[in-house]
Amino acid sequence: MLELNDIRFGWEADPPVIETLSLKVRAGDKLVLLGANGCGKSTLLKLMNGLIEPQSGSLLYEGMPLTKSALAERHFARRFRTECALLFQHPEAMLFNPTVREEIAYGPRQLGLADVEARVAHWAAALGLTALLDKPPFLLSGGEKQKVALAAILVLEPKLLLLDEPSASLDPASVGWLIDLLIESSMTVVAATHNLSLAAELGSRCIVLDPRGRLLFDGPVEAALGNLALLEEAHLAHRHRHRHGGAQHSHLHAHDWGSS
């Protein structure tokens, strides 16, 4: 579905965030992207969403080159924007409409989809947002904003869903709902997280990036999560001292402290 070939990307004059990366996302994959802060997960998702272009290497979506100039072509842009959606790490950056209802309806209207009202009602109900539909998004709590941003994307019923830290401000019940939805759907999902329990439940396949944006691992989630040396190399596990009932000892440890 999505193919990345020898991608190299750096922000402006900075050293490359992604030195070289090749990756194939297959239709139906539930792929979890793991890596420490700053290793390039959000950057990679923006590349996959065609928002930025690599300095070298190529991306193919369903065999078609994914470039700025390809996306300048209306037919391809409409198709790609309908089929591939990205939930940003900071969802408030996405919200700009006067009401939650308009926020969720915005994408489908822009893309000229049918049944906008019914779609909005369905996804608002699914995410428990019905009572908030007439409120301005900026008044909502962080978790509510994230749900609105999620509804605004799911309403497009994308084929390829890119999620950047989707559990960052959701309560546990909402994370559970999201995991069930993603597992049961036929959507291809790429989710960046450093929440290892979310990774364990959501993913079947796992990509681990090292702090320099290089591919450390591509394989089954259980194999990654069971490999503490790998997690330590990716800065996802940490050797530290702590106390159990008064006795202090030191060991290698994977954590699940929040996810932002």
Ligand X SMILES: Nc1ncnc2c1ncn2[C@@H]1O[C@H](COP(=O)(O)OP(=O)(O)O)[C@@H](O)[C@H]1O
Per the CB < 8 A criterion, the answer to whether 41 and 33 are in contact is yes
Binding residues for Mg ion restricted to 63-92, rule: CB under 5 A: 89
> Which is nearer to ligand X, 37 or 248 (by Cβ)?
37
Work out which of 4, 17, 66, 237 binds ligand X, going by CB under 6 A. Answer: 17
> Which is nearer to Mg ion, 67 or 89 (by Cβ)?
89
Q: What is the C-alpha separation between 51 and 92, in angstroms, rounded?
A: 18
Q: How far is CA 13 from CA 17, 40, 41, 204, 236, in A?
A: 11, 16, 19, 36, 28
Helix (H, G, I), strand (E, B) or coil at 145: helix
> Which is nearer to ligand X, 133 or 209 (by Cβ)?
209
> Which is nearer to ligand X, 17 or 133 (by Cβ)?
17
Helix (H, G, I), strand (E, B) or coil at 104: helix
How is residue 224 written in tokens?
A: 């990654």
**Number of residues in contact with Mg ion under rule CB under 5 A:** 3
Q: Look at residue 234 and give the partner it binds from Mg ion, ligand X, none, a contact being a CB closer than 5 to 8 Å depending on partner kind.
A: none
41 is a site residue for ligand X (CB under 6 A) = yes
260 is a site residue for Mg ion (CB under 5 A) = no
Q: How far is CA 242 from the centre of its chain?
A: 32
**Number of residues in contact with ligand X under rule CB under 6 A:** 10
259 is a site residue for ligand X (CB under 6 A) = no
Work out which of 7, 31, 34, 40 binds ligand X, going by CB under 6 A. Answer: 40
Q: In sequence order, which residues have a C-beta less than 8 Å from that of residue 184 and are 6 or more positions away?
A: none
Please choose, out of 42-50, 69-77, 109-117, 151-159, the segment that lies near Mg ion by the rule CB under 5 A: 42-50
49 is a site residue for Mg ion (CB under 5 A) = no
The beta strand positions in the chain, using DSSP E, are 2-9, 18-25, 30-34, 56-61, 64-65, 84-87, 160-164, 188-193, 205-209, 215-220, 237-244, 247-254
Q: Minimal distance in Å, beta carbon 242 to ligand X?
A: 26
> Which is nearer to ligand X, 104 or 224 (by Cβ)?
224
> Which is nearer to ligand X, 17 or 127 (by Cβ)?
17
Please choose, out of 39-47, 105-113, 128-136, 154-162, the segment that lies near ligand X by the rule CB under 6 A: 39-47
Q: How far is CA 1 from CA 103, 140, 146, 161, in A?
A: 28, 35, 27, 12
Cα angle, residue 228 at apex, residues 227 and 230 outer, rounded to 5°: 70
206 is a site residue for ligand X (CB under 6 A) = no
List contacts with ligand X (CB under 6 A).
11, 17, 35, 37-43
List contacts with Mg ion (CB under 5 A).
41-42, 89
